[in-house]
């Protein structure tokens, strides 16, 4: 099975189109404004997908089995509270006769009526996505009757699905988020395609030689090694115990990258790197974390506002060493060398730090692989988002040069730490 950027781009368009149709129908049904949040194609291992689900929140899902042009499962997952709010709105729309017994907000069990309402909403959303994909593919996709699932782990959602990836299997996951405007209702959508069905689709959509799917393992190892190096460096330099919380490889349209950056003033360090691959690397901290880092690295009192010369140079220094570690991690997996520029400091709106990079890459590509990493500290403020965005053609070449057998030898010790979210 081989894939290329054109095929992935088509997948991305499917996800966007599907999310749009689903959001439109949700608006129509609930009479509220809805927004499509970030849509991504993620390459994730089974264990990470399962880990994603284990954040202690109760979830409710509606899943359908797909046959035809795409085979696999499509699952809409709500947080339990969101699901209740949706059902409440929906039944209120249906008129006073349909009022839920007691009060939906206080009910903690789904009864027959609320379950069937939630299933209906989930099914309409699933169908929206699937209609969008079918439109883009100009093909027919058949959908089974919806199934209502609830639980706190991945088990009830994917446990019994043969298509769900094993712990170490790298799966291509379609992920979208739709939110209602004003109220806090949001949900995630997942598509688990069957491998053979994927393979057939990729074959059809591919327009270039492409990359062998198994080589994506190299991607994942790169991400793993890079993230691990960043956390280690941060711990060594600041004395703050840090660990990798999220590590993800996304395929997104360039325009979507700044959209996912927090809408607040951030502190960052940016680099361009050169080699095979070349590209850009950004470390972004929220202001509080940046202050914490400066306090940890600079022994004397620093002025409260802004970061001053001392603070700026401390953060640049940390960024510089994290960048070397990150890119060394990559170079190691790819058996090459990657050089990086001197650090550029930024203290500004997060999106404004990212857009120059996507503009520069946008001259030659519409999509990008983004290595998305979040490093956090236990008990202290240290949130660091890492965006590594390589030049697409370089990356394709680098991966094709990759000897898959060699990957097995590369050390993989990144460990995830459970973070207390309560």
Of the candidates 95, 96, 102, 182, which one interacts with other proteins according to CB under 8 A? 182
Rounded distance between C-alpha atoms, residue 277 and residue 23, angstroms? 37
Q: How many helices (H) and strands (E) does the chain have?
A: 13, 16
Which member of 9, 10, 34, 294 binds other proteins (CB under 8 A)?
Answer: 34
Nearer of residues 256 and 376 to other proteins, judged by Cβ: 256
- Tokens 């004397």, located at residue: 300
Site for other proteins in 82-141 (CB under 8 A): none
60 binds other proteins (CB under 8 A): no
Query: Residue 338: phi, psi to the nearest 5?
Result: -130, 125
* Binding segment toward other proteins, per CB under 8 A, in 136-144, 227-235, 320-328, 341-349: 341-349
Nearer to other proteins by Cβ, of 360 and 412: the residue is 360
Contact between residue 14 and residue 136 where contact means Cβ atoms under 8 Å apart: yes
d(CA 280, CA 251): 15
| Chain position carrying tokens 């042009």 | 69
Binding flag, residue 348, other proteins (CB under 8 A): yes
Q: Is 347 in the site for other proteins (CB under 8 A)?
A: yes
Residues 235-254 contacting other proteins, CB under 8 A:
254
- Please, what's the largest Cα pairwise distance for the chain? 69
**Using an 8 Å Cβ cutoff, are 245 and 232 in contact?**
no
Examine residue 33 and tell whether it contacts other proteins (CB under 8 A).
yes
CA angle 239, 241, 247 (to 5 degrees): 130
Cα-Cα end-to-end distance for the chain: 42
Q: Does 284 bind other proteins (CB under 8 A)?
A: no
Size of the residue set binding other proteins (CB under 8 A): 45
177 binds other proteins (CB under 8 A): no
Using the structure block, give the residue that is written with the tokens 């049904």.
Answer: 29
Residue placing its CB nearer to other proteins in the complex, 336 or 365: 365
In the complex with other proteins, which residue's Cβ is closer, 92 or 410? 92
Say how far apart CA 258 and CA 135 lie, in whole Å: 28
User: Quick check: 321 binds other proteins (CB under 8 A)?
Assistant: no
Position 184 contacts other proteins (CB under 8 A) = no
- Residues forming contacts to other proteins in the complex (CB under 8 A) are 20, 23-24, 26-28, 31-37, 181-182, 254-255, 258-259, 261, 263, 265, 270, 272, 278, 280, 341, 344, 346-356, 358-360, 362-363, 366
């Amino acid at each position: 099975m081989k894939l290329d950027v054109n095929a992935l781009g088509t997948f991305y368009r499917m996800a966007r189109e599907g999310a749009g149709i689903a959001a439109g129908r949700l608006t129509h049904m609930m009479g509220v404004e809805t927004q499509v949040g970030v849509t991504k194609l993620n390459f994730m291992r089974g264990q990470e997908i399962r880990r994603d689900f284990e954040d202690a929140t109760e979830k409710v899902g509606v899943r359908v089995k797909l046959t035809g042009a795409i085979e696999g499962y499509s699952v809409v997952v709500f947080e339990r509270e969101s699901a209740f709010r949706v059902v409440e709105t929906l039944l209120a729309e249906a008129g006073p006769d349909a009022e839920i017994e007691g009060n939906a907000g206080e009910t903690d069990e789904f009864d027959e009526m609320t379950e069937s309402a939630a299933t209906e909403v989930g099914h309409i959303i699933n169908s929206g996505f699937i209609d969008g994909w079918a439109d883009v593919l100009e093909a027919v996709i058949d959908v089974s009757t919806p199934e209502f699932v609830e639980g706190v782990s991945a088990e009830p959602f994917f446990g019994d699905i043969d298509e769900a990836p094993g712990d170490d299997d790298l799966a291509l996951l379609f992920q979208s988020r739709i939110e209602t405007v004003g109220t806090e209702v949001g949900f995630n959508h997942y598509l688990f395609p069957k491998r053979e069905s994927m393979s057939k689709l990729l074959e059809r959509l591919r327009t270039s030689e492409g990359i062998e799917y198994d080589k994506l393992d190299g991607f994942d190892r790169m991400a793993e090694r890079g993230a691990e190096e960043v956390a280690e460096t941060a711990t060594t330099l600041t004395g703050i115990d840090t660990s990798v919380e999220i590590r993800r490889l996304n395929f997104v349209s360039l325009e979507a990258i700044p959209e996912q950056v927090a809408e607040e003033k951030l502190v960052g360090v940016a680099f361009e790197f050169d080699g095979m691959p070349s590209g850009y690397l950004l470390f972004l901290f929220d202001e509080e974390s940046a202050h914490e880092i400066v306090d940890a690295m600079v022994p004397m009192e620093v002025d409260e506002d802004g970061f001053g010369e001392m603070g700026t140079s401390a953060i640049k220094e940390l960024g510089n060493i994290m960048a070397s570690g990150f890119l060394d991690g990559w170079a190691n997996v790819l058996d090459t060398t990657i050089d990086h520029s001197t650090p550029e400091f930024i203290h500004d709106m997060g999106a404004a730090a990212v857009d120059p990079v996507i503009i520069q890459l946008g001259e030659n590509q519409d999509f990008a692989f983004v290595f998305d990493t979040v490093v956090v500290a236990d008990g202290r403020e240290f949130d660091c988002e890492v965006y590594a965005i390589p030049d697409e053609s370089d990356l394709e070449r680098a991966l094709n040069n990759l000897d898959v057998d060699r990957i097995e030898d590369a050390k993989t010790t990144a460990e995830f730490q459970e973070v207390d979210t309560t």
